[in-house]
Amino acid sequence: MNDKKETDVLLATQIVIEQALQRLGYEQDMVELLKEPMRVLTVRIPVRMDDGKTKVFTGYRSQHNDAVGPTKGGVRFHPAVHENEVKALSIWMSIKCGIADLPYGGGKGGVICDPRSMSIRELERLSRGYVRAVSQIVGPTKDIPAPDVMTNSQIMAWMLDEYSRIREFDSPGFITGKPLVLGGSKGRETATARGVVIMIHEALRLKGIDLAKARIVIQGFGNAGSYLAKFMHEAGARVIGISDVSGALYNEEGLDIPYLLDRRDSFGNVTNLFQQTITNEQLLELDCDVLVPAAIENQITEHNAPNIKAKVVVEAANGPTTLEATRILSERGILIVPDVLASSGGVIVSYFEWVQNNQGYYWDEQEIDDKLRLMMIRGFEQVYDIHRTRKVDMRLAAYMAGIRKVAEAARYRGWV
Ligand SMILES: NC(=O)C1=CN([C@@H]2O[C@H](COP(=O)(O)OP(=O)(O)OC[C@H]3O[C@@H](n4cnc5c(N)ncnc54)[C@H](O)[C@@H]3O)[C@@H](O)[C@H]2O)C=CC1
Ligand SMILES: O=C(O)CCC(=O)C(=O)O
């Protein structure tokens, strides 16, 4: 595979979707329906910047398929956002929701921007502008956004406020990942990491490795990566490596996670405070038990997959491993817990948030944790069972588990 093909996330997704549907016995017409999102909106968002000039940003909202129910998925603010990336991300959301058996299809949004170089007021105007631009196609029974890379509960709050102004009534179920006082759910902030912890437990159990003796490496120190480091540290595991966009830190004895958590900024940067750093490339190849990519796409490729030393790769990030790398790792006996399963804790608790908003009754954290655990373990067992009985790699197994529900719903509706 040439490099561009290797890292084209939409193409890679379409290849696995086709394989999954074929293994499930579907014809080509179903592949045609599900290999692309049913709707992608591109928007141009004019934002008055603090210097008085107007800057026009480009954003997207992709809705993969709504046969199962309203579409659902985060909004990413990042300079590298690309239409095909958002499309792939929305397809992955359909698969995540299918594995977790949530009553949603997949959606995803993104805006090409760099929040690290914007003021708080510029960010607020951009967030509100995005909601105005996509307001026709989103809503609590249509498409429900949430946080993703470089968006957070404050941005969700501005988006909620803007949507409520447009619709002229308060509508907390429009968006999830909100602050608690605006109808957010307990446990959503930490949900993605909590879900990954549960997957690490399951994977280590299969490999016969004791978590308390395990060495963990985490790429990315944002929402997913930093809470994961905290929970692993609290569980007694040794977190020997972490990283952010600028570099990585490594200590064989275990890093001082509470100190790093205290010093990280709101974008998940911390390594710039240290002189003795290693590169992200070196981090991924460290000798460890569990490697958790928790940053961005295409980090484990055919180039570094032969050098990965972890026994288990648990994908907190969306799309961190290419198809060729999946093949190499699987053949080397490294257990992959794929993104569409491992990172589903976020959308599962987002679903709980939406349910609580709809019923106007709020649950305590224990209830959230217990329900999350149950759903994640059920998802793991389902995927692992398909992997074993159908003799397919864990990624294809996860796609088969997830896309099945969407295809069945589309067939019942008479679309195919
Ligand atoms: N926040 C959530 O609820 C969910 C997030 N995810 C996925 O997890 C991943 C991380 O998301 P968040 O933690 O929310 O984002 P974030 O914006 O909070 O943190 C991202 C982290 O990755 C680092 N990073 C960025 N580019 C990098 C690079 N090229 N090399 C190394 N590190 C890099 C950043 O410095 C930061 O530490 C993404 O793939 C996201 O789609 C998946 C499910 C839910
Ligand atoms: O919480 C959600 O609804 C979506 C989270 C998300 O964007 C993801 O799982 O990639």
Question: How remote is the CA of residue 349 from the centroid of ligand 1, in Å?
Answer: 18
Q: Which of 72, 87, 96, 108 is catalytic?
A: 108
Residue by residue, pLDDT tens for the chain (416 residues) are 567 777 899 999 999 999 999 999 999 999 999 999 999 999 999 999 999 999 999 999 999 999 999 999 999 999 999 999 999 999 999 999 999 999 999 999 999 999 999 999 999 999 999 999 999 999 999 999 999 999 999 999 999 999 999 998 989 999 999 999 999 999 999 999 999 999 999 999 999 999 999 999 999 999 999 999 999 999 999 999 999 999 999 999 999 999 999 999 999 999 999 999 999 999 999 999 999 999 999 999 999 999 999 999 999 999 999 999 999 999 999 999 999 999 999 999 999 999 999 999 999 999 999 999 999 999 999 999 999 999 999 999 999 999 999 999 999 999 99
Q: Which two tokens stand for residue 26?
A: 């579907």
Cα–Cα distance measured from residue 191 to residue 186, given in angstroms and rounded to the nearest whole number: 9
Predicted local confidence at residue 1, as pLDDT: 56
Are 178 and 172 in contact by the 8 Å Cβ rule? The answer is yes
The beta strand positions in 225-314, using DSSP E, are 238-244, 247-250, 290-293, 312-314
- Mutating to test ligand 1, I would choose from 227, 244, 249 the residue with most ligand atoms within 8 A of its C-beta, which is 244
Predicted local confidence at residue 3, as pLDDT: 72
Which atom belonging to ligand 2 lies closest to the Cα atom of 192? 9
Predicted local confidence at residue 7, as pLDDT: 81
Burial label for 207, CB within 10 Å (0-12, 13-18, 19+), is middle
Which atom belonging to ligand 1 lies closest to the Cα atom of 221? 37
Length of the chain: 416
Q: Which two tokens stand for residue 367?
A: 């209830």
Which atom belonging to ligand 2 lies closest to the Cα atom of 96? 9
The beta strand positions in 247-311, using DSSP E, are 247-250, 290-293
Question: Is 55 considered catalytic here?
Answer: no
Q: Which residue has the CA at smallest separation from atom 30 of ligand 1?
A: 245
Question: How remote is the CA of residue 224 from the centroid of ligand 1, in Å?
Answer: 6
Q: Which two tokens stand for residue 53?
A: 């000039």
Q: How far apart, in Å, are the Cα atoms of 187 and each of 36, 218, 347, 360? A: 32, 21, 12, 17
Cα–Cα distance measured from residue 382 to residue 375, given in angstroms and rounded to the nearest whole number: 11
Measuring CA to CA, which residue among 222, 197, 59 is closest to residue 133? 59
Cα–Cα distance measured from residue 255 to residue 244, given in angstroms and rounded to the nearest whole number: 14
Angle, helix 323-331 to helix 394-412, in steps of 10 degrees:
130
Q: Which backbone phi and psi does 52 adopt, to 5 degrees?
A: 95, -15
CA 181 to chain CA centroid, Å, is 24
- Mutating to test ligand 2, I would choose from 148, 178, 223, 315 the residue with most ligand atoms within 8 A of its C-beta, which is 148
Query: Residue 181: which residues within 8 A CB-CB, separation 6 or more?
Result: none
Residue that is written with structure tokens 């977190």 in the block: 239
Q: Which two tokens stand for residue 162?
A: 């803007």
SS3 category, 144 = strand
Cα–Cα distance measured from residue 56 to residue 59, given in angstroms and rounded to the nearest whole number: 10
pTM: 0.98
User: Ligand 2: residues within 6 Å at CB?
Assistant: 72-74, 96, 146, 148, 176-177, 318, 343, 346-347, 350
Predicted local confidence at residue 6, as pLDDT: 75
Rounded to a whole number of angstroms, the CA Rg of the chain reads 20
Ligand nearest to the CA of 245: 1
Cα–Cα distance measured from residue 345 to residue 191, given in angstroms and rounded to the nearest whole number: 5
Task: Give the residues across from 42 on adjacent strands.
Answer: 60
CA 87 to chain CA centroid, Å, is 14
- Mutating to test ligand 1, I would choose from 148, 185, 264, 284 the residue with most ligand atoms within 8 A of its C-beta, which is 148
Q: Which two tokens stand for residue 100?
A: 């977790």
Predicted local confidence at residue 2, as pLDDT: 63
SS3 category, 291 = strand
Burial label for 413, CB within 10 Å (0-12, 13-18, 19+), is exposed
Which atom belonging to ligand 2 lies closest to the Cα atom of 350? 1
